[in-house]
Amino acid sequence: MKIVIIGGGIAGSSLYIQLKKKHHEVFVIDPRIRKIFMTLIHSLLLKDSDVIIAKKSLDFYIENKIPLKEFKSITIGKIDAKLIDLWSQVGVKIEKDKIDWLNTEGIVAEHGDRLVYVKRMIDSIPIVKEKAFISQKGNNVEVLVNNKKIDADIFILASGPWNNLLFNVISKSYYCWASLVITRNKILDNIFIYDYEKEFYSRPFLGIGLKTAIVGDGKTIEAKPGTKINVNPLEVITKAQERLGNLRHIYTSGEFCEGTPDMRPAYGRLLDNLFYIGGFNGYGAEIGPGIASLLVDMIENGYENKEYLLDRFRGIKNFELGREAHEL
């Protein structure tokens, strides 16, 4: 089949790799209007079926040699025993411990958390560097690039926060950001901390033992992609300092993410020749390639995983964005 993917972020590039392996003729259109971060967190410490989807993503990264760097993590706060069981089932080694340097109890996890070099994956796929415009014609979609009609058997809408500007899908765009800080504690560049009591996370910056870390939280600020958003990084840094000691703000950066009514990812068919993948909110590197594999299975075999199908939002006209889904 000739398949054209509209958007070459995590969704579009992981789809490209999987569809090419199935011998389809695949093209990706992307104007590269989004900032691409070098590394993102891949954690298996998610909720319910997302853990299985994240494991699929991890297997995809390993199979396709996308670089990964593993780190220990500490989770602070009340965590359901069932979740801990589920994490163990996908190979995470868990221990509850008193962590003296954080002055608290926490769940120490090994083999559960990694930085994944998503930019390497995104940069590795060929793109047509243009903006696509789409319009509905009966039960089909028509796609224009530079005013020229594009010919394909099927199209896949994979433009993240731009999806609902391009087509009528039930998702919203929001701004999400994190801050690079300097710390006295070198360990922070070698460990993940998910603190559900103080409501922040901390992740390594480069993961080579520098006195740096990246801190953020799971809040969402609804806004259209491209809008200028002013954030106050000191709110998160102050919360993080209560646990991690003195932190000095260096730099704050953000981008737009796409959220659905239940803040979980979705895929499905929009029109006879148009499919959708998105709603990755703040955890696209974690669940993205796994959701892409569900869409490939739908295109090839007609298989539907009802839990992630876009149809679950049928009848919903409007909604409020919730907290990000990787927040436990």
Ligand X SMILES: Cc1cc2nc3c(=O)[nH]c(=O)nc-3n(C[C@H](O)[C@H](O)[C@H](O)COP(=O)(O)OP(=O)(O)OC[C@H]3O[C@@H](n4cnc5c(N)ncnc54)[C@H](O)[C@@H]3O)c2cc1C
Minimum Å gap between C-beta 277 and ligand X is 7
Which C-beta is closer to ligand X: that of 85 or that of 294? 294
HSE-up of residue 183 (Cα within 13 Å, Cβ side): 28
Q: Is 114 in the site for ligand X (CB under 6 A)?
A: no
The whole-angstrom separation of Cα 273 and Cα 262 is: 26
Q: Is 66 in the site for ligand X (CB under 6 A)?
A: no
244 phi, psi to nearest 5 deg:
-100, -5
The whole-angstrom separation of Cα 140 and Cα 251 is: 45
The whole-angstrom separation of Cα 312 and Cα 100 is: 45
Neighbouring C-beta atoms of residue 108, cutoff 10 Å: 16
268: left (phi over 0), alpha (psi -120 to 50) or beta: left
Which C-beta is closer to ligand X: that of 184 or that of 287? 287
Q: Is 324 in the site for ligand X (CB under 6 A)?
A: no
Q: Is 161 in the site for ligand X (CB under 6 A)?
A: yes
Q: Is 6 in the site for ligand X (CB under 6 A)?
A: yes
Q: Which stretch binds ligand X (CB under 6 A): 77-85, 96-104, 158-166, 179-187?
A: 158-166
Q: Is 87 in the site for ligand X (CB under 6 A)?
A: no
Q: Is 280 in the site for ligand X (CB under 6 A)?
A: yes
Q: Is 106 in the site for ligand X (CB under 6 A)?
A: no
Contacts with 291 (C-beta within 8 Å, 6 or more apart), sequence order: 11, 53, 265, 266, 267, 277, 280, 308
Which C-beta is closer to ligand X: that of 60 or that of 280? 280
The whole-angstrom separation of Cα 274 and Cα 128 is: 19
Q: Is 3 in the site for ligand X (CB under 6 A)?
A: no
Could you say which residues in the range 39-58 bind ligand X, by CB under 6 A? 40-41
Minimum Å gap between C-beta 94 and ligand X is 21
Closest CA to 163 of 153, 178, 174: 174
Q: In the chain, where does DSSP find H-type helix?
A: 10-21, 48-63, 81-89, 118-123, 163-166, 233-244, 284-301
Could you say which residues in the range 9-38 bind ligand X, by CB under 6 A? 9-12, 29-34
Q: Is 8 in the site for ligand X (CB under 6 A)?
A: yes
Q: Is 233 in the site for ligand X (CB under 6 A)?
A: no
Of 177, 185, 312, 323, the one binding ligand X (CB under 6 A) is: 177
Q: Is 255 in the site for ligand X (CB under 6 A)?
A: yes
Of 51, 154, 166, 321, the one binding ligand X (CB under 6 A) is: 166
In the numeric block, which tokens belong to residue 263?
Answer: 């803040």
Q: Is 204 in the site for ligand X (CB under 6 A)?
A: no
Of 185, 190, 206, 254, the one binding ligand X (CB under 6 A) is: 254
The b/e string for 281-311 (b: 16+ C-beta within 10 A; e otherwise) is bbbbbbbbbbbbbbbbebbeeeeebeebbbe
The whole-angstrom separation of Cα 3 and Cα 300 is: 12
Q: Is 162 in the site for ligand X (CB under 6 A)?
A: yes
Interacting residue ranges for ligand X, rule: CB under 6 A: 6-12, 29-34, 40-41, 131-132, 158-162, 166, 176-178, 254-255, 257, 278, 280-286, 288
